[in-house]
């Protein structure tokens, strides 16, 4: 019960990492407010939590809309008075081509949700944390540390969130508020199905095989593994950790370039 009697807010909590974290937090005693633009899907997550006796509620929220976020903050103040843990997990991703052909509206959309949304939710919920202190966790990505082909919008947004997290850490450390981020590698989520194809599709199978052999641990990560990192950062077990971007990518960014792996068959075969 590491989060007993804590009020935790998780955005982007309908599926994937967000939904897994809702489960982890609720099982550790938190009252979890599950905010997502997809209210029907997030209600399913809430119902699952209630089935095992946890406390959770759904809230429909577009994190890129300042008015909606301010209304959300007002609701939280009225209902709970305080917020102990904020997990800014809402995000979108999509390929857009090379920079000179990248659609402006796509760039704006990704930054609006991934970066602006993290800013807005933090801005309006911070006053609910400043009296008692707490923990802010932001989802970044290994793609915020290094670039992906044809995804400059996502790279820029997640890189921005990494440094924004550091700004939160130094601005609010004296209020007892810690701010850290999690940089997942390739995680088995619905977003991966959308971007690369599902396990049942040939394209999705090829993508997963490529990720498996190029990742030192030889597999994709799970939402539950990311939720465990979030739980550590939310709890007092990380009480002296702030301003950090914790990379959880199975070792993918531990090497400089995959030169030998391209020609060493044993490297690929030993993950089978």
d(CA 268, CA 253): 17
Residue 194 clears pLDDT 70, i.e. is over it: yes
Does residue 87 lie within any of the structural domains? yes
Give me the pLDDT at residue 177, please: 98
Question: Residue 158's domain is classified under what CATH number?
Answer: 3.40.50.720
The lowest-confidence range among 67-71, 193-197, 229-233, 234-238 is 193-197
Looking at the chain, list the stretches that DSSP marks H as alpha helix, in order from N- to C-terminal side.
16-27, 39-51, 66-80, 104-110, 117-125, 152-172, 190-196, 202-214, 223-234, 259-263, 265-269
At residue 109, what are phi and psi to the nearest 5 degrees?
A: -65, -45
Per-residue pLDDT, 196: 84
Asked whether residue 2 is domain-assigned, the answer is no
Q: What are phi and psi of 92, to 5 degrees?
A: -130, 160
Tokens of 57: 């509620």
Residue 268 has pLDDT above 80, yes or no: no
Q: Give Cα 91 distance to the centre of its chain.
A: 7
What CA–CA distance (Å, rounded) separates 182 from 87? Answer: 10
Q: With respect to residue 1, please indicate whether it lies within any of the assigned structural domains.
A: no
**pTM of the model as a whole:** 0.94
Q: What pLDDT does 191 receive?
A: 79
Over 90: is that where the pLDDT of 202 sits? Answer: no
How does DSSP classify residue 130? T
Q: Residue 180: inside a domain, yes or no?
A: yes
- 2-31 mean pLDDT: 97
Asked whether residue 121 is domain-assigned, the answer is: yes
Domain count, the chain: 1
- Asked whether residue 227 is domain-assigned, the answer is yes
Give CA–CA dist 225/228, Å, rounded: 5
**Residue 37 carries which DSSP code?**
S
- Please say if the pLDDT value at position 250 is more than 70: yes
Provide the pLDDT for residue 257: 83
**What pLDDT is recorded for position 101?**
97
| pLDDT tens by residue, 71-95 | 999 999 999 999 999 999 999 999 9
In a domain, 45, yes or no: yes
Give the domain extent around 187.
Answer: 7-269
Alpha-carbon torsion (252, 257, 261, 262), positive or negative = positive
Q: What is the pLDDT of residues 162-180, one digit of tens each?
A: 999 999 999 999 999 999 9
Residue bearing tokens 């990379």 = 247
The residues assigned a catalytic role are 154
Pairing of strands 177-184, 245-248: parallel
pLDDT of residue 265: 79
Tens of pLDDT, residues 122-154? 999 999 999 999 999 999 999 999 999 999 999
Q: Are residues 234 and 135 in contact, defined by beta-carbon separation less than 8 angstroms?
A: yes
Is 66 in contact with 109 (CB distance < 8 Å)? no
Which pLDDT belongs to residue 203?
87
Top-confidence residue, 76 or 264? 76
Lookup: tokens for 214: 């190029």
Dump pLDDT digits (tens) for 23-70.
999 999 999 999 999 999 999 999 999 999 999 999 999 999 999 999
- What pLDDT score was predicted for residue 272? 59
Provide the CA 37 distance to its chain's centre, in angstroms: 15
As a whole number of angstroms, the distance between CA 82 and CA 77 comes to: 6
């Amino acid at each position: 019960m590491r989060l007993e009697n804590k009020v935790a807010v998780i955005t982007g909590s309908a599926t994937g990492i967000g939904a897994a974290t809702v489960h982890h937090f609720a099982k550790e005693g938190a009252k979890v407010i599950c905010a997502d633009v997809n209210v029907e899907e997030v209600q399913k997550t809430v119902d699952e939590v209630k089935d095992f006796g946890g406390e959770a509620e759904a809230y429909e929220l577009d994190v890129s809309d300042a008015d909606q976020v301010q209304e959300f903050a007002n609701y939280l103040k009225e209902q709970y008075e305080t917020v102990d843990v904020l997990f800014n997990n809402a995000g979108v991703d999509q390929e857009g081509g090379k920079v000179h052909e990248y659609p402006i509206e796509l760039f704006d959309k990704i930054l609006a949700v991934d970066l602006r949304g993290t800013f807005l939710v933090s801005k309006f919920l911070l006053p609910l944390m400043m009296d008692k202190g707490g923990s802010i966790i932001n989802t970044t990505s290994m793609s915020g540390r290094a670039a992906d082909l044809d995804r400059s919008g996502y790279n820029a947004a997640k890189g921005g969130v990494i440094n924004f997290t550091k700004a939160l850490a130094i601005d609010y450390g004296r209020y007892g508020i810690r701010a850290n981020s999690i940089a997942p590698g390739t995680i088995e989520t619905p977003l991966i199905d959308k971007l690369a194809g599902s396990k049942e599709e040939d394209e999705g199978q090829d993508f997963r095989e490529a990720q498996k052999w190029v990742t030192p641990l030889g597999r994709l990560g799970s939402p539950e593994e990311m939720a465990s990192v979030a739980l550590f950062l939310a709890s007092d077990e990380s009480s002296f950790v702030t301003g950090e971007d914790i990379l959880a990518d199975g070792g993918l960014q531990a090497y400089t370039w995959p030169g030998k792996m391209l020609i060493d068959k044993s490297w690929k075969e030993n993950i089978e």
